[in-house]
């Protein structure tokens, strides 16, 4: 086979984070697929920096529907995802101080009817999340069926499964330009040119920038930096049974993490697409907010990182063919929910790419395709 023909595919996916890996896996069941990734390791950017929470009450309605739709996959993944469960028990507890009743009420209204969610009083909050300062929170919502995600197993499972299906992953292959000629996209990288009738833009924080390189109009994506820290638990305390504890206004959260605590100021600072790094100020704000809510004396930060959560205005994902650029498919804007929703979103994206009906059960969850279509963002 000549070099040129070996670089011809039916679908080329740009970006090997969870979005690119999952949609490539789904599509490789019936098509010749390549994934091009600019870094030497897939998962280096946002996918490798998440808090690994699965919550069916987190995010806007389309994301909640796609997350619930993902549960069947998480519960019973194909063998290539390994023997260990991808999800492990980890409830999510939203807490409100006496001045945050309105915020909790808004959350309750948004998720009304969601099974497995209960209102909890101050006493129950203290029992569930015993490190909270007594009296700090007066009411809350507890999602018992929330889970922790093994993100690495999920991501690596998709990449392994993709290769088993004959797909290719090419790293160190930043796509510098993309051009369409006679029904075929040709994308250029330092690692050679690749062509296919369909290009999928799964470049995370870079999705608008990559569109521009392809001569496609942007959809208004904004990367937002979020910071996370790992700190020790107080001596002799085992945090493992605790839920993720989230402020009702999402000003902070705390999650047990392998015997330590992952804490975040839940910052959302607009950023250029980049290798995001934590800022001293965000670390200080995080420690201050956490110490106000929890009986924790943070003397040392064991680890800290930041990642970019990328949103359009309505915070729903952008999934579908561009209305003006033939063969250019958007899979972007997953914001802070791109791991938990990856199985459902990638199955939807694959159906849209090959032109099938929507995945079974998705519309019954109240999902509407127009809510995620890139066409809604062209004004």
> Which residues are near ligand FAD by CB under 6 A?
14-20, 36-39, 44-47, 49-53, 174-175, 202-206, 210, 226, 228, 307, 309, 334-340
In the complex, minimum distance from the CB of residue 306 to ligand FAD, in angstroms, rounded to a whole number:
7
Query: What is the smallest separation between the CB atom of 94 and ligand FAD, expressed in angstroms?
Result: 14
d(CA 74, CA 342): 10
47 or 129: CB nearest ligand FAD: 47
* Nearest distance, CB of residue 210 and ligand FAD, angstroms: 5
Query: Residue 37, by phi and psi: left (phi above 0), alpha (psi -120 to 50) or beta?
Result: beta
Q: Are 182 and 7 in contact (CB under 8 A)?
A: no
Least gap, CB of 213 to ligand FAD (angstroms): 7
Q: Which is nearer to ligand FAD, 136 or 337 (CB)?
A: 337
For residues 39 and 249, which CB has a smaller minimum distance to ligand FAD in the complex? 39
* CB of residue 74 to ligand FAD, shortest distance in Å: 11
Please check whether residue 178 is in contact with residue 199, taking contact to mean a CB–CB distance below 8 angstroms.
yes
Which of residues 38 and 137 has its CB atom nearest to ligand FAD in the complex? 38
CA distance 371 to 212: 23
CB of 259 to ligand FAD, least distance (A): 19
For residues 13 and 35, the answer to whether their CB atoms sit within 8 Å is yes
Give least dist CB 10 to ligand FAD, A: 19
Count Cβ atoms within 10 A of the Cβ of residue 163 and give its class: 0-12 exposed, 13-18 middle, 19 or more buried.
middle
Which of 139, 174 has the CB closer to ligand FAD? 174
User: Rounded to an integer, what is the distance from CA 319 to the centroid of its chain?
Assistant: 14
How many CB atoms are closer than 10 A to CB 31?
19
Instruction: Pull the structure tokens for residue 41.
Output: 């390791």
Nearest to 268 by CA among 239, 304, 310, 229: 310
* Shortest Cβ 175–ligand FAD spacing (Å): 4
- Give the nearer residue to ligand FAD in terms of CB position, either 139 or 247: 247
Nearer to ligand FAD, 49 or 97 (CB): 49
Cα separation, 7 vs 45, whole angstroms: 26
**CA dihedral in degrees (75, 351, 161, 332; nearest 10)?**
-90
The residues near 370 (Cβ < 8 Å, ≥ 6 apart) are 376
CA angle, 217 then 218 then 223, to 5°:
165
User: What's the chain's length in residues?
Assistant: 379
| Cβ distance to ligand FAD smaller for residue 7 or 340 | 340
Give the whole-angstrom CA distance, residue 379 versus residue 372.
15
53/362 with CB nearer ligand FAD: 53
- Least Å distance, CB 214 to ligand FAD, is 10
């Amino acid at each position: 086979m000549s070099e040129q023909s070996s670089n011809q595919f039916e679908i080329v996916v740009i970006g090997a984070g969870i979005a690119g890996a999952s949609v490539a896996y789904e599509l490789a069941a019936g098509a010749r697929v390549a994934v091009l990734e600019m870094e030497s390791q897939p998962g280096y950017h946002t996918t490798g920096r998440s808090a690994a929470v699965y919550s069916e009450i987190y995010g806007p309605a389309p994301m909640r529907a796609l997350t619930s739709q993902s549960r069947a996959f998480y519960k019973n993944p194909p063998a290539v995802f390994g023997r260990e469960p991808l999800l492990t028990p980890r409830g999510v507890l939203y807490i409100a101080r006496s001045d945050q009743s309105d915020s909790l009420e808004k959350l309750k209204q948004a998720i009304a009817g969601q099974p497995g969610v209960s209102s909890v009083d101050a006493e129950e909050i203290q029992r569930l999340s015993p490190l909270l300062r007594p009296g700090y929170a007066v009411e809350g919502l507890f999602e018992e069926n929330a889970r922790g995600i093994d993100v690495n197993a999920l991501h690596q499972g998709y990449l392994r499964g993709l290769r088993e299906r004959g797909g290719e992953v090419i790293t160190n292959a930043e796509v510098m330009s993309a051009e369409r000629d006679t029904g075929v996209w040709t994308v250029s990288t330092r690692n050679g040119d690749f062509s296919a009738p369909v290009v999928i833009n799964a470049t995370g924080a870079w999705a608008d920038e990559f569109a521009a390189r392809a001569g496609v109009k942007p959809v208004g994506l904004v990367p937002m930096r979020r910071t996370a820290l790992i700190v020790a638990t107080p001596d002799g305390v085992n945090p493992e049974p605790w839920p993720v504890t989230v402020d009702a206004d999402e000003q902070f959260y705390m999650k047990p993490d392998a015997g330590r605590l992952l804490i975040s100021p839940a910052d959302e600072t607009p950023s250029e697409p980049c290798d995001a790094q934590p800022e001293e100020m965000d670390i200080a704000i995080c420690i201050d907010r956490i110490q106000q809510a929890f009986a924790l004396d943070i003397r040392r930060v064991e680890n800290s990182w930041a990642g970019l959560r990328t949103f359009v205005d309505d915070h729903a994902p952008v999934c579908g063919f561009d209305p003006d650029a033939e063969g250019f498919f958007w899979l972007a804007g997953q914001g802070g929910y791109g791991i938990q929703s990856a199985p459902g979103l990638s199955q939807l994206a694959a159906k849209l790419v090959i032109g099938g009906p929507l995945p079974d059960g998705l519309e019954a969850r109240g999902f509407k395709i127009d809510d995620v279509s890139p066409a809604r963002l062209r004004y």
